[in-house]
A and B are shown apart, each in its own frame.
Chain A
Amino acid sequence: MENQTQVLEPKKAIEKTTISGAEAVIKSLLEEGVKLAYGYPGGAIMPIYDEIYKYQDQFTHILTRHEQGAIHAAQGFARVTGKTGVVFATSGPGATNLVTGIADAQIDSTPLVCITGQVASHLLGTDAFQETDIVGISTPITKWNYQITKAEEIPSIIAKAFYIAKSGRPGPVLIDITKDAQMGSLDFLYEKCKGIRSYAPKPEMNIDQVKAAANIINSAKKPFIVMGQGVILGAAEQELKAFIEKSGIPIASTALGLSGLESNHPLNVGMVGMHGHYAPNVKTNDCDILIAIGMRFDDRVTGDLNRYAKQAKIVHFELDPAEVDKNVKTDVAVLGDVKETLAALLPLVEKREHQQWHQEFKDLYAIEYDKVIKPQLEPIKEGLTMGEVIEGINKETNGDAVIVSDVGQHQMFACRYAKFTTTRSQVTSGGLGTMGFALPAAIGAKMGVPDREVIAIIGDGGYQMNIQELGTIFQTKIPVKIVVLNNSFLGMVRQWQELFFDKRYASTEMVNPNFVKIAEGYDITARKVSKREDLQGAIKEMVASKESYFLEVVIEKEGNVFPMVPTGAAVSECRLS
């Protein structure tokens, strides 16, 4: 079967020039406005790297120390900018090293175009050196993928790749290009993709659905909103804010939706989910209308589905039709781009205050503050807590920093305690839970928003999963701030072992190296803090630094993240200790 996907035909012929396939790759990227990519060279992608060399005045390539670092950096860039991240890798191991990042981008809806080199087409299927079926391997974890074997396919396929990656619900696309296609020649003609006949990026808004949603919302006595990353991906932050301020409805966020609404907004009641805030979790099972906006009812958000918001009518604003009724049955589904549907909803909702209902959230927050938050922020114990470190960062940055977190306890502390004033300021591996994500993602994030402070918050475990990317920081001098919260444990797994496996700490205790010396080996200013009186000064010094800075904070060894909705429990059974 040949590639016969029907796309809109270019309307006018523009100037044609005969160039190599490899050059066409770079020219196509430039046509898409891409000036920055991450990657790692190798045999099967050398013709493309030769063109990267020739185009270095127009196109920047960041050499990471591992392909996984390259793809996480591209994800970090995409998450803070909303643009499509671009990654290069060679065939075989280069391509397979991208797999974790591709899966991460797929589950967290991050737009990426990954370009891999492939052995020459006459060698395909012969188990040639560094041949691997990356199209087959990446099929279940890409939004789309394609293998190019002829140079003349390059411009149209790259145009399609960017269109697919960014439109509708974003996601990763992988384009595998055989070496002979890179070396072949073509008449270069670039036309951006404007549509694909088999692909509808987003459903058309149906105003009847919006009206039905407005009727339910107007009838509500105890309405509650859960927003997800869809609000950020759809650039609907202002529409959301206008809606909540008029309707007066308390709103919580999923982990990935954080920063879509500023943390100190009076209607913002925090985060839902396994380690979310007490009030929104408990009130999920008390509200009469649950309004989900751009979120997908992940199991970490819902806990036991059979006991999730059963008393409530569910209204779901969603772009992806396959997410509707997937985990939670809706009463009204409003399909479409949330930027459009929320704007259409605004004039239909009635002005409300819901004062009594808000008071119920405040009362529960007071309980959580006493039992959980205060002991974190004003500890009476000697050991430093993760919460006080994050709070210390809030003070120095006024909540204006981009916080890139890894995976584990520190991630939940970052999500719970970091204050955000600006959208796209919270970058973390949510759906896949990829340890090792934060250090390279912070590099990409800082390059995406060079004028903003970017702080990576990482555990001692995850830090060592992609620690080689300190080399990328060393070579590029990208001023990323790195905070390692070191409790000498794989803390989240240890917490579960404590709570559910009778403290049998199987393979979770870590004997760590001298992190300061390692950072200094890469010429990064480094400091280790183990006493409370030194903490704020060190954070201040880090934030004041114009260059990259490494701060290790020694944390109490066996601290736990609470509240917690244990696996299989209802969200309202949220534990405070």
Chain B
Amino acid sequence: MEENKTYTISVYTENNLGVMNRMSGIFLKRRINLESITASQSEIKDVFRFLFVIKTNEEQVRKLVGQIEKQIEVIKAYYHTDNETIYQESALFKIASDLLFDDREIQNIIKKSNANIVTVARDYFVIEKTGRRHETEQLYQDLKPHGLLQFVRSGRISVTKEPMRISEMLANF
């Protein structure tokens, strides 16, 4: 068996209802657990871009991409290893405002982490950290003992180092 690695599957699709359902079914059918999903507008008007992160081997990810690309409304699908992409995640941390005054350590953690303060209210404040998984994870581990009101992390967003050439592909239609 090939070794499992983290792969990012990038899918350019038409902006239609049901495309997400079609793709998630492909993972479900093969019992593949998604590490994260992100969907957004792409660089091209009316074209959506989905990012799926999975841990698997290359043979499996190649077959998955083949099945995804076969869907009518999928324009193109690719898979990349972490070395082939620039990727980030975002995390939000909601913390009780009292802690900032009662627990000096919190200030040090925030300074050290290069996190940004998003909002400060009388009862709570929210900080944001964007980076690799280990960076947001580190901040989570550091803050957790002091008390977190809420924590949430986004799916991975990534761009590839190599060009995708989707616009050229569509221009040729």
- Interface residues of A, Cβ cutoff 8 Å to B: 1-6, 8, 135-136, 139-140, 143-147, 164, 195-199, 320-322, 325-326
Contact: A4 with B15, CB < 8 Å?
Answer: yes
Closest 6 CB pairs between A and B? A322-B66, A197-B173, A140-B25, A198-B75, A144-B72, A5-B14
Contact: A198 with B70, CB < 8 Å?
Answer: no
**Could you say which of A8, A197, A326 contacts B63, with CB atoms under 8 Å apart?**
A326
List 17 interface pairs A-B (beta carbons < 8 Å), by A numbering: A1-B17, A3-B16, A4-B16, A4-B46, A5-B14, A6-B170, A8-B173, A139-B25, A140-B29, A144-B73, A147-B17, A198-B13, A198-B75, A199-B73, A322-B69, A325-B62, A326-B66
A146 to B19, CA, bound (A): 10
The interface residues of chain A lying within 8 Å CB-to-CB of B15 are: 1-2, 4
Contact: A3 with B21, CB < 8 Å?
Answer: no
Give the Cβ gap from B12 to chain A, nearest Cβ, in Å: 8
A198 to B75, CA, bound (A): 4
Is B5 among interface residues, defined by CB-CB distance under 8 A? no
The interface residues of chain B lying within 8 Å CB-to-CB of A196 are: 72
Most buried by B among A1, A145, A196, A325: A1
A195 to B25, CA, bound (A): 26
A135 to B22, CA, bound (A): 10
Give the Cβ gap from B47 to chain A, nearest Cβ, in Å: 9
The interface residues of chain A lying within 8 Å CB-to-CB of B18 are: 135, 139, 145-146
Contact: A322 with B63, CB < 8 Å?
Answer: yes
- Interface residues of B, Cβ cutoff 8 Å to A: 13-18, 21-22, 25, 29, 46, 62-63, 66-67, 69-70, 72-75, 170, 173
Most buried by B among A139, A145, A196, A325: A139
Give the Cβ gap from A158 to chain B, nearest Cβ, in Å: 15
Known: A143-B72, A144-B72, A164-B72. A6 touches B21 (CB 8 A): no
The residue on A at minimum CB distance from B46 is A4
The interface residues of chain A lying within 8 Å CB-to-CB of B13 are: 198
Give the Cβ gap from A45 to chain B, nearest Cβ, in Å: 21
Beyond A5-B16, A321-B69, A322-B66, list 19 extra A-B contacts (CB 8 Å): A1-B16, A2-B15, A2-B16, A3-B16, A4-B15, A4-B16, A139-B21, A144-B72, A144-B73, A145-B18, A197-B75, A197-B170, A197-B173, A198-B13, A198-B74, A198-B75, A322-B63, A322-B67, A325-B62
The residue on B at minimum CB distance from A136 is B21
The interface residues of chain B lying within 8 Å CB-to-CB of A145 are: 18
The interface residues of chain B lying within 8 Å CB-to-CB of A322 are: 63, 66-67, 69-70
Give the Cβ gap from A230 to chain B, nearest Cβ, in Å: 15
The interface residues of chain B lying within 8 Å CB-to-CB of A140 are: 22, 25, 29
A322 to B64, CA, bound (A): 9
Give the Cβ gap from B125 to chain A, nearest Cβ, in Å: 36
Known: A136-B21, A140-B25, A145-B18. A5 touches B66 (CB 8 A): no
The residue on B at minimum CB distance from A195 is B173
Give the Cβ gap from B77 to chain A, nearest Cβ, in Å: 11
The interface residues of chain B lying within 8 Å CB-to-CB of A199 are: 72-73
A1 to B46, CA, bound (A): 10
Most buried by B among A8, A136, A140: A140
The interface residues of chain A lying within 8 Å CB-to-CB of B67 are: 322
The residue on A at minimum CB distance from B12 is A198
**Could you say which of A4, A195, A325, A326 contacts B14, with CB atoms under 8 Å apart?**
A4
The interface residues of chain A lying within 8 Å CB-to-CB of B62 are: 325
The residue on A at minimum CB distance from B13 is A198
Contact: A198 with B73, CB < 8 Å?
Answer: yes
A197 to B15, CA, bound (A): 13
The interface residues of chain A lying within 8 Å CB-to-CB of B70 are: 320-322
Give the Cβ gap from A118 to chain B, nearest Cβ, in Å: 14
Give the Cβ gap from B21 to chain A, nearest Cβ, in Å: 5
Contact: B72 with A321, CB < 8 Å?
Answer: no
A197 to B16, CA, bound (A): 14
Give the Cβ gap from A471 to chain B, nearest Cβ, in Å: 36
The interface residues of chain B lying within 8 Å CB-to-CB of A8 are: 173
The interface residues of chain B lying within 8 Å CB-to-CB of A164 are: 72
Give the Cβ gap from B173 to chain A, nearest Cβ, in Å: 4
The interface residues of chain B lying within 8 Å CB-to-CB of A147 are: 17
Give the Cβ gap from B74 to chain A, nearest Cβ, in Å: 6
A1 to B16, CA, bound (A): 6
A136 to B18, CA, bound (A): 8
The residue on A at minimum CB distance from B172 is A197
The interface residues of chain B lying within 8 Å CB-to-CB of A6 are: 14, 46, 170, 173
The interface residues of chain A lying within 8 Å CB-to-CB of B21 are: 136, 139
A114 to B59, CA, bound (A): 35
A146 to B170, CA, bound (A): 23
Give the Cβ gap from A105 to chain B, nearest Cβ, in Å: 16
**Could you say which of B17, B22, B29, B72 contacts A198, with CB atoms under 8 Å apart?**
B72
A199 to B170, CA, bound (A): 11
The residue on B at minimum CB distance from A323 is B66
The interface residues of chain A lying within 8 Å CB-to-CB of B69 are: 321-322
Contact: A321 with B66, CB < 8 Å?
Answer: yes
Contact: B16 with A139, CB < 8 Å?
Answer: no
Give the Cβ gap from A225 to chain B, nearest Cβ, in Å: 24
The residue on A at minimum CB distance from B45 is A4
The interface residues of chain B lying within 8 Å CB-to-CB of A326 are: 63, 66
A135 to B14, CA, bound (A): 17
Give the Cβ gap from B1 to chain A, nearest Cβ, in Å: 13
The interface residues of chain B lying within 8 Å CB-to-CB of A321 are: 66, 69-70
The interface residues of chain A lying within 8 Å CB-to-CB of B17 are: 1, 3, 147
A1 to B19, CA, bound (A): 10
A325 to B58, CA, bound (A): 13
A5 to B62, CA, bound (A): 26
The interface residues of chain B lying within 8 Å CB-to-CB of A5 are: 14, 16, 73
A6 to B66, CA, bound (A): 22
A8 to B25, CA, bound (A): 29
A199 to B77, CA, bound (A): 12
The residue on A at minimum CB distance from B19 is A1
A538 to B29, CA, bound (A): 48
The interface residues of chain B lying within 8 Å CB-to-CB of A195 are: 173
The interface residues of chain B lying within 8 Å CB-to-CB of A325 are: 62-63
The interface residues of chain B lying within 8 Å CB-to-CB of A139 are: 18, 21-22, 25
The residue on A at minimum CB distance from B23 is A139
The residue on A at minimum CB distance from B75 is A198
The interface residues of chain A lying within 8 Å CB-to-CB of B22 are: 139-140
The residue on B at minimum CB distance from A3 is B16
The interface residues of chain A lying within 8 Å CB-to-CB of B66 are: 321-322, 326
